[in-house]
Chain A
Amino acid sequence: MTKKEVIERILIYYKNDNPIVITSCGRTSREAWEVADKLSMKIIPLTGSMGMAMSLSIGFAMANPFREVIVIMGDGEFLMGFNAVLHVPSEYINNLKHFVLVDNEYESTGGQTNAWFGDIGGMVWEVYDNVHDDLVLKESERYNKKFLCLIPVETTKQKASRIPDSELPKAVRRIK
């Protein structure tokens, strides 16, 4: 799936919950802005502050526990702000869902490879094969307090050659 398709799927799925949606800088915010506009949804797109989406959303969720917070970020953003993950177990977070779009590159700057390390720990995430049938999104409801999902998306090279989704890496996982 493309980034835009995944973002659209997520926004449509959660639209009726009226969540606060924060998107990370780069291609993610640009694609999300277009999708949100089409769906008449309001989002908070970060256009810079690379690496701050995770901590920003955690702060927001802590200070506003009665509002669902959805964060959509690229894997480059996730890596740069990874330290903030250590705050996720906080007892004060009850309303936070992160979706990380994994393409192992910085698309908005031309597709340079990022430091994505594939299997993150292998200890707190479980594997999902795809999000085509909203399986992961449905799973997120079971983990309504906090949830992190890694979703493989089309890379720049794949976009050029249109490699089938079945050949994308399996890397869709969640934080319990």
Chain B
Amino acid sequence: MTVMGHMGQKMMMTKILLKNGFAYGSGVPCSILKKEIAEIEDTQEIFYVPAVDEGVALGLVNGFMLAGKSAFLLTQNSAVGRVADLVMSFNISYDMPLFWIISMRGYNGDTRVHLASYGATYTILEYLNFAIFDFRIKGKEFENALNYYIKNKKNTVFLRYKND
């Protein structure tokens, strides 16, 4: 199972995570990321917790990081508004930057219910001063986002689109 790059190359998300020492993660399900999630869950080297909701997933990831582990959060973009306060009051206030993999619903013919969330995602992430690696627009790849996060210790998000 692979992540398809903008130029067609294949990247193994789990391999990149492991190569960079990201052995802990939590998140909620998403159809766009179903292959990646399946792969991560099947990878014994990654301790991945399917959380009961986005806020709990973020709390678990923050707990992993507080214990000194490199960890990632994995959600749909609908989570952005839902956990914005937790990001502000913990990750920003306590200088515990987050690496966040987000699937972008509401794009390219997605169902109507996701359109508002899609429209607000960028605004909220920019307001929270996230470094945004947009697969579709900037052509950035997953590894670039992860390397940026490691190097700069800054809240970083990797946006994954349907059919990328």
A residues whose Cβ falls under 8 Å from a Cβ of B: 25, 44, 46-52, 54-64, 67, 81, 83-84, 86-87, 90, 92
Contact = CB atoms under 8 A, between A and B. Distances in A.
B90 A64 contact: no
| Chain B contact residues: helix, strand, loop or mixed | helix
B86 A49 contact: yes
Q: Which of A60, A61, A86 neighbours the largest number of chain B CB atoms within 10 Å of its CB?
A: A60
A129 to B, nearest CB: 32
Interface stretch (B44-52, B103-111, B130-138): B44-52
Given A55-B51, A63-B68, 16 more contacts: A44-B66, A48-B88, A48-B90, A49-B85, A49-B86, A54-B59, A55-B57, A56-B62, A60-B64, A60-B67, A62-B47, A62-B49, A62-B60, A63-B67, A63-B69, A83-B52
Nearest to B89: A48
Nearest to B83: A52
B135 to A, nearest CB: 27
Contacts, number: 96
Contacts of A44: 66
A56 B89 contact: no
Contact of A59 (B26, B53, B89): B26
Q: Which of B51, B58, B61, B67 neighbours the largest number of chain A CB atoms within 10 Å of its CB?
A: B67
B55 A55 contact: yes
Contact of B66 (A25, A56, A81): A56
27 contacts: A25-B89, A47-B89, A47-B93, A49-B86, A49-B89, A51-B86, A52-B59, A55-B59, A56-B59, A56-B60, A56-B62, A56-B90, A58-B63, A59-B61, A59-B62, A59-B64, A59-B66, A59-B67, A59-B71, A60-B66, A63-B69, A63-B71, A81-B55, A83-B52, A83-B55, A87-B51, A87-B52
